[in-house]
């Protein structure tokens, strides 16, 4: 399923994602569980756990976060890139075309020396 998702979504490498962290037109979206996020996340990212993603992304949903309707580029990440690939595919299927998966997830981000914040 991940390979099928990757075939139809945009993917950004961690090296291309690093400079996007300071771009005000980009929102990083962490789809990991709260316990994972508590161990460190990309500074300024929003939390949208995979299990609630559709409710958070849907403008009519009670959990909606306005960043999903902002028109900004959404860079979706998880621990290693699998859940974020599936999440990006879900967003595209929902009509949110400005979403991209960050390949390698937080593991690649940390390995590349990307900044990490704890909440």
Q: Is residue 117 part of a domain?
A: no
Q: Is residue 106 part of a domain?
A: yes
The span from the CA of 35 to the CA of 79, in Å, is: 12
Q: Is residue 119 part of a domain?
A: no
Q: Is residue 45 part of a domain?
A: yes
Tell me the per-residue pLDDT of 42-92, one tens digit each, with 9 for 90 and over.
999 999 999 999 999 999 999 999 999 999 999 999 999 999 999 999 999
Strand 10-12 to 26-30 pairing:
unpaired
Output the pLDDT for position 116: 98
Q: Is residue 116 part of a domain?
A: no
Q: Is residue 118 part of a domain?
A: no
CA 86 vs CA 32, 48, 92, 119: distances in Å: 12, 13, 10, 25
Average pLDDT over residues 22-28: 97
CATH number at residue 31: 3.40.250.10
pTM of the predicted model, to two decimals? 0.95
pLDDT at 7 > cutoff 90 = no
8-22: b or e for each residue (b if 16 or more CB lie within 10 Å)?
ebebbebeebbebbe
Q: Is residue 80 part of a domain?
A: yes
- How many separate domains does the chain show? 1
- The closest of 17, 15, 82, 87 to 51, measured between CA atoms, is 87
Q: What is the span of the domain harbouring residue 98?
A: 2-111
**5: Cα within 13 Å, side-chain hemisphere:** 20
């Amino acid at each position: 399923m991940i390979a099928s998702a990757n075939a139809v979504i945009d993917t950004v490498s961690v090296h291309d994602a690093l400079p996007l962290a300071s771009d005000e037109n980009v929102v990083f979206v962490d789809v990991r569980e709260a316990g994972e996020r508590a161990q460190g996340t990309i500074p300024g990212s929003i939390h949208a756990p995979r299990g609630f993603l559709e409710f958070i992304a849907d403008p009519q949903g009670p959990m909606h976060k306005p960043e999903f309707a902002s028109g900004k580029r959404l860079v979706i990440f998880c621990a290693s890139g699998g859940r974020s690939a599936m999440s990006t595919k879900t967003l595209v299927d929902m009509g949110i075309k400005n979403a991209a998966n960050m390949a390698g997830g937080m593991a690649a981000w940390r390995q590349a020396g990307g900044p990490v914040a704890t909440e």
